[in-house]
Amino acid sequence: MLKNKSIVSIDDVSESDISEIFSVSDRMLNALEAGKKLEMLDGKIMATLFYEPSTRTRLSFESSMHRLGGSVVSVSDVKSSSVAKGETLADTIRMAESYSDVIVIRHPLEGAARLASKFSTKPVINAGDGSGQHPTQTLLDLYTMRKYFGKIDGLRIAMVGDLRYGRTVHSLLLALSNFDVEVTLISPQILKMPEHIRERLGKNIKVKSRENLDEKMDEFDVFYVTRIQKERFTDQNEYNSVIGLYSIDVSTVGKMKKNAIIMHPLPRVDEIKPEVDYLPNAAYFKQAYYGVPVRMALLSMILGA
């Protein structure tokens, strides 16, 4: 059960929780597509605290709360908040919980969301903590795969790009270890998946690594592409050595399975060319759309609706 529970890591969500989230997400999606008005969170307030830029995550959380009949109070620019005056995270969280029923936080420091949950008596949802995790993105990623293929077990998935700093792939790989899947990690050596993530994987998942994207592309059902996280690099020369290393265009898609899908947590830079957007393989905008029903499901379950 997720009622009144914080979600700061994908580990906070069990296999049975994921199954229930998918079921509730289906109901939310049906309601959205039917244009039904939902009021199950009427009188509830969500606080969003974003210490880093965000478009999809913040808007989809706020849209989800509004679509459930709830309200939102938001800090989208910390420069205009008391953080600019030196207020600590602890004090900000204690303030926010007094104004709301659930707190959604994005922070540049790994572990900040976990720390925030220690100071709050209200549920805290991690919307991304540095290069740590992004659990709600993972849930909508899994949901997207299930919607396209009707299942997750048996899929062959390629994770491509920045696997070192990309928090979405950290959470996703950990979640996929609960399924019978094969994952190939495709990245340059300096951006490979951290060992502390790989060490935590379960026995069901089969994981391989390589650097070449073009090799045997027709093996995969899903290409999960990530942006090179420029903001995480401390060495500009290191960043310059990997930017543009992998790029998917129409000719690249031609080497894939006919029904393979391309996913991306967005935003993208140059790793997927705009020409790919018009191909049936492009799933990333639908993936972003699924963020609303999935986050609606989470909010309704956490707030006990």
Residue with tokens 């004090």: 91
Residue 241: pLDDT band (50, 70, 90) is low
- How would you label 214-233 residue by residue, b for 16+ Cβ within 10 Å and e otherwise? eeebeebbbbbbbbbbeeeb
Mean pLDDT over 270-297 rounds to: 96
Instruction: Name the more confident of 224 and 168.
Output: 224
Instruction: Using the predicted structure, report yes or no on whether residue 83 has a pLDDT greater than 60.
Output: no
Look over the chain and give the mean of its residue pLDDT values, rounded to a whole number: 90
- Provide CATH 3.40.50.1370 ranges for the chain: 10-133+290-302, 135-288
Instruction: Using the predicted structure, report yes or no on whether residue 260 has a pLDDT greater than 90.
Output: yes
Amino acid at 105: I
Percentage of the residues of the chain whose pLDDT score is greater than 90: 67
Using DSSP's 3-state secondary structure scheme, residue 187 falls into coil
From 3-17, 76-90, 268-282, the region with the lowest mean pLDDT? 76-90
Residue 85: pLDDT band (50, 70, 90) is very low
Q: Pick from 272, 13, 294: which is nearest to 161 by CA? A: 272
Residue 81: pLDDT band (50, 70, 90) is low
pLDDT tens, residue by residue, 127-174? 988 777 889 999 999 999 999 999 999 999 999 988 988 888 999 999
Instruction: Name the more confident of 156 and 243.
Output: 156
Tell me the CA distances in angstroms from 70 to 101, 105, 291, one per residue in order. Answer: 10, 18, 17
From 55-69, 232-246, 268-282, the region with the lowest mean pLDDT? 232-246
CATH topology of domain 135-288: Rossmann fold (3.40.50)
Instruction: Using the predicted structure, report yes or no on whether residue 264 has a pLDDT greater than 50.
Output: yes
Instruction: Using the predicted structure, report yes or no on whether residue 286 has a pLDDT greater than 50.
Output: yes
Residue 229: pLDDT band (50, 70, 90) is low
Instruction: Using the predicted structure, report yes or no on whether residue 102 has a pLDDT greater than 70.
Output: yes
CATH class of 10-133+290-302: alpha beta
